[in-house]
Amino acid sequence: MSSSSTTGHVPYPQQVRQGVLPRPHGRSGRSPGAYRLVRTPPGPVNPPLLDAAQRAVVDHGDGPLLVLAGPGTGKTTTLVEAVAARIAAGTDPSRILVLTFSRKAAVELRDRMALRLGGARGPQATTFHSYCYALVRAHQDADLFAEPLRLLSGPEQDVTVRELLAGQIGLPGVRWPDELRACLTTRGFADEVRAVLARSRELGLGPDSLARFAARTGRPDWGAAASFLAEYLDVLDLQGVLDYAELVHRAVLLADDVALPGYDAVFVDEYQDTDPAQVRLLRALAGGGRTLVAFGDPDQSIYAFRGADVNGILDFPEAFPRADGGPAGVAVLTTSRRSGAALLAATR
């Protein structure tokens, strides 16, 4: 028989497995050798060494600026340093907004800014869709929607579209062209309809404007899509849900009607991935010559299939003019820290 059984004590590992923790000893409430959590304040962070092009972006004053930055040129480092410089100069972090496209990128930006600021409060760094969702939720009409609006997942949207299309097969008032009616129940046609719905909302088109466009261009299929869009939006409202394109569209409409938070500076990462609706939102947030610093690379525009428009970055200087009416400034980061010159030349 072990010593633990003779003394009536259960060894500490067995106590843990049995869900019994040893009582603390002493006036301090801690047993000898017990662990305690100690939070060490972050130490000073040495600023990175910036090249002349990066320093020019960090030192940028007021007004719009487009920063063209290829892979490995220190784009994220420059963005973080530009934010840190404004906060060090006295800008309230709550008056700085940082927008990006993926949750992973937003988390990385928040982590890097927190490290650079030494644990001090940083600005809001979020995705376009998260910002739009917060805006729409904050101004949700309580008389129309008893519950908070919910985002529709991709599979849910697919089911909704396919069910609506299947229900239109026998309806005499539906004007799908005869050559398309046999396709209404196919997955491929449902995917095409989803794309039309999303692109229409990204361009700011509603059912009426889409129908007028269809009549002007002689496209009966787009006319049928306009009727379908009206029915689809009614279903979303009845269910209290939004898809991602409708979310940004409604945020843009709200931006024209409500007082948005005032920002001293708005930073956008991966600007080449913006769609027309997101550009309109940025005009409401930081247009009219206000400070908007957009980082991007037209050569990395790979999301055209989901509405991204490379013309957004190409047209930035004219789309976001300075307060005096002149085109926005353009800065270029050219020093690659990731690849050699020969490899970069081969990719061009």
73 is in an annotated binding site: yes
Neighbouring C-beta atoms of residue 292, cutoff 10 Å: 25
Look at residues 174, 195, 198 and name the one whose alpha carbon lies nearest to residue 184.
Answer: 174
85 is in an annotated binding site: no
296 is in an annotated binding site: no
160 is in an annotated binding site: no
Gap between the Cα atoms of 172 and 84, Å rounded:
62
Gap between the Cα atoms of 282 and 273, Å rounded:
13
Q: Cβ(252)–Cβ(204) under 8 Å?
A: yes
DSSP string, 161-181: HHHHHHHTTT-TT----HHHH
291 is in an annotated binding site: no
Buried b or exposed e, range 43-76, using 16+ CB within 10 angstroms: eeeeeeebeebbebbbebeebbbbbbbbeebbbb
**Cross-sheet strand order for the sheet of 65-69:** 124-127, 96-100, 265-268, 292-296, 65-69, 329-333
CA-CA-CA-CA torsion for 75, 79, 84, 89, nearest 10 degrees? Answer: 120
139 Cα distance to chain centroid = 19
44 is in an annotated binding site: no
334 is in an annotated binding site: no
3-class DSSP string for 135-161 = HHHHCCCCCCCCCCCEECCHHHHHHHH
Spatial neighbors of 306 by CB under 8 A, at least 6 apart, are 198, 275
155 is in an annotated binding site: no
Gap between the Cα atoms of 246 and 235, Å rounded:
13
Q: Cβ(228)–Cβ(168) under 8 Å?
A: yes
Gap between the Cα atoms of 313 and 320, Å rounded:
11
Gap between the Cα atoms of 70 and 348, Å rounded:
11
Look at residues 334, 340, 331 and name the one whose alpha carbon lies nearest to residue 58.
Answer: 331
Binding-site residues from annotation for ATP: 69-76
Binding-site residues from annotation: 69-76
